[in-house]
Amino acid sequence: MNKFTVFSLIGYIRIVLIDVLGGTTILKTLTRFKAEELLPKDELKQLSKSRLDQLFHIAKTTTPYYKAASNYEGLEVLEKATIRQSNHEFISSSFKQKMYPKSTGGSTGIPLNYLTTPASRSAMWAGILMSWQVAGYQFGDKVAFIAGTSIVKTNLKHKLFYFLFNIEVYSVYDLSDKKLKEYIRKINESKVAIIYGYASALGHIATYLLRHGPIEFPYLKGIICTAEVLTENTRHQIQTAFFVPVFNQYGCNEAGVSAYECKHHQMHLISSRSYYEVDSEQHLISTDLTNLGFIIMKYKTGDLIEFDEATVCACKSNYPIIKHIMGRTCDIVTDYEGHSLHSCFFNILFRDDKSIKQFQIVFSDTSLKIYLNVDPDLAVEAHYEKYITEIKKHLHFDSYKLIFNAPFLKFENAKHRFVIQED
Ligand SMILES: [Zn+2]
């Protein structure tokens, strides 16, 4: 055996360990997805539909929310607000495995709490692995996550998971030149092979590299952007700065949506994991077919999607091709001293506070305003001051202000944006 196969065998064993210790089936799911994507289109559709029928049956017979439903077609499109209101009604009484609380911010600034299952987690990770493998990932490779990490210290289990996966986390909270210099040194020192991170943060780092470079990354194989819209401009910039191919990955976990870009740069939706529809306004509506514990069906993801039904991809995958994703954008918030912070920071900052129904950050050169939508009884500054303290650690403004239950500002396209820059 040569050095590389021994290396990836050890890497493989590490993922086996993740599966054994965490009760997941990531490797099995990855193998399944790879087999299913080669099925003829019709068979894939049937497969997804029959899984939907099974899920509907479970939902109807074991959850209060779907008790009175007669068929999938008759279900109303599910909004985040409904899930928030009747949260426990989506739990299946027949599901006996452990479930894990998860929350998501999305692009609207309204956090959503839900539960995920070992199968659903496995599907999410298998989908991510598919995207990494296109970029040259081998089991065991060092992966850098450039993302928003939780403010609360991660627990031991989490740390072990990242250790076994060989993932190193680089927080996007501080993207100052000083920090970026340190990140670049660390990426090379620890022989990072794959970078997986927010498109906007990677674009920001690319600009730094182009200003200070050329800087070489001898161990780097490829970069995968996630969580936000990757524009062709940003992709080109990242590619030029890092000298490696850049791919896109897209997911909306609560809806079972997992898509990866193949080597021909087509974005394939893993349609055997989810049952999807697109409404007349191009909203992606989806059902996670792998979450049998906390069942949410016909869920409005908040993303606008355009599919390309006609193209047959040269990679031979029959997973449907996404032509266009319009939706998520995150911005980099910068103060007058040049400290930069990824706007998703705010999503993570507020997501565990159940009293906050929605938020919006409005900033200018001198001031930062936090608009919070909370119950009138809870509109007490003292409770929320801790967030200002946290923000002050990263960004400096002359004034910080909390504003309760005032109407949110609309951005040019009238879509709710949770971070807005004022002149
Ligand atoms: Zn393809």
| pLDDT tens per residue across span 28-86 | 999 999 999 999 999 999 999 999 999 999 999 999 999 999 999 999 999 888 998 89
pLDDT at 215: 92
Strand 283-288 relative to strand 299-308, pairing: antiparallel
Residue 120 reports pLDDT greater than 80 = yes
Please indicate whether residue 420 or residue 41 has the higher confidence score (pLDDT).
Answer: 41
Chain mean pLDDT for the chain: 88
Q: Could you read off the pLDDT of 153-197 as tens digits, one per residue?
A: 567 888 899 999 999 999 887 888 899 999 999 999 999 999 999
In sequence order, what are the residues at sequence separation of 6 or more whose Cβ sits closer than 8 angstroms to the Cβ of residue 271?
Answer: 44, 45, 48, 319, 320
CA of 268 to the centre of ligand 1 (A): 7
Which helix (H) or strand (E) segment holds residue 235: the answer is helix 232-242
Q: How far is residue 144's CA from residue 403's CA, in Å, rounded to a whole number? A: 37
Predicted local distance difference test score (pLDDT) of residue 151: 45
Q: How confident is the model at residue 412 (pLDDT cuts 50, 70, 90)?
A: low
Measured in Å, residue 242 CA sits from the centre of ligand 1 at 24
Q: Which of 392, 254, 286 is nearest to 52 (CA)?
A: 286
Calpha distance 26→17 (Å, rounded): 11
Once rounded to an integer, what is the mean pLDDT over residues 361-375? 87
Distance from Cα 227 to the centre of ligand 1, integer Å = 20
Going from the Cα of 130 to the center of ligand 1, the distance in angstroms, rounded, reads 12
315-347 residue pLDDT tens = 999 999 999 887 655 556 777 776 777 766 787
**How many whole angstroms from 319 Cα to the centroid of ligand 1?**
8
Domain ranges of the chain: 3-326, 355-421
- What distance in angstroms lies between residue 318's CA and the mean position of ligand 1's atoms? 8
pLDDT digits (tens, 9 = 90+) for 191-233: 999 999 988 889 989 999 999 979 999 999 999 998 777 888 8
* Type and span of the H or E element at 3: helix 3-22
pLDDT at 21: 92
Residues near ion ligand 1 (CB < 5 Å) are: 262, 264, 266, 313, 315, 317
Which residue has better confidence, 323 or 148? 323
CATH for the stretch 3-326: 3.40.50.12780
Residue 152 has a pLDDT of 45
Q: What is the C-alpha to C-alpha distance for residues 176 and 193, in angstroms, rounded to an integer?
A: 23
Whether 22 has a pLDDT exceeding 50, the answer reads yes
Give, as one character, the DSSP assignment of residue 70.
-
Cα angle, residue 128 at apex, residues 41 and 276 outer, rounded to 5°: 40
Residue 150 CA to ligand 1 centre (angstroms): 34
Q: Quick one: pLDDT at residue 42?
A: 96
Expressed in angstroms and rounded, the spacing between residue 363 Cα and the centre of ligand 1 is 41
Task: Give the pLDDT confidence of 245-286 residue by residue, as tens digits.
Answer: 999 999 889 999 999 999 999 999 999 999 999 998 888 999
Distance 312 CA to ligand 1 centre (A): 8
CA 306 to ligand 1 centroid distance, Å: 16
Report how far apart, in Å, the C-alpha atoms of 376 and of each of 357, 403, 418 are: 12, 12, 21
Q: Is the peptide bond before 214 cis (omega within 30 degrees of 0)?
A: yes
Looking at per-residue pLDDT, the higher value among 343 and 22 belongs to 22
Residue 319 tokens, joined: 């997973």
What is residue 422's predicted lDDT score, i.e. its pLDDT?
77
CA 261 to ligand 1 center in whole angstroms: 7
- Is 11 in contact with 138 (CB distance < 8 Å)? yes
C-alpha 321 to ligand 1 mean position (Å): 8
As a whole number of angstroms, the distance between CA 329 and CA 421 comes to 14
Output the CA 258–ligand 1 centroid distance in Å. Answer: 14
Q: What angle do CA 301, 304, 305 make, to 5 degrees?
A: 105
CA–CA separation, 4 and 207 (whole Å): 33
Q: For position 173, what pLDDT does the model report?
A: 78
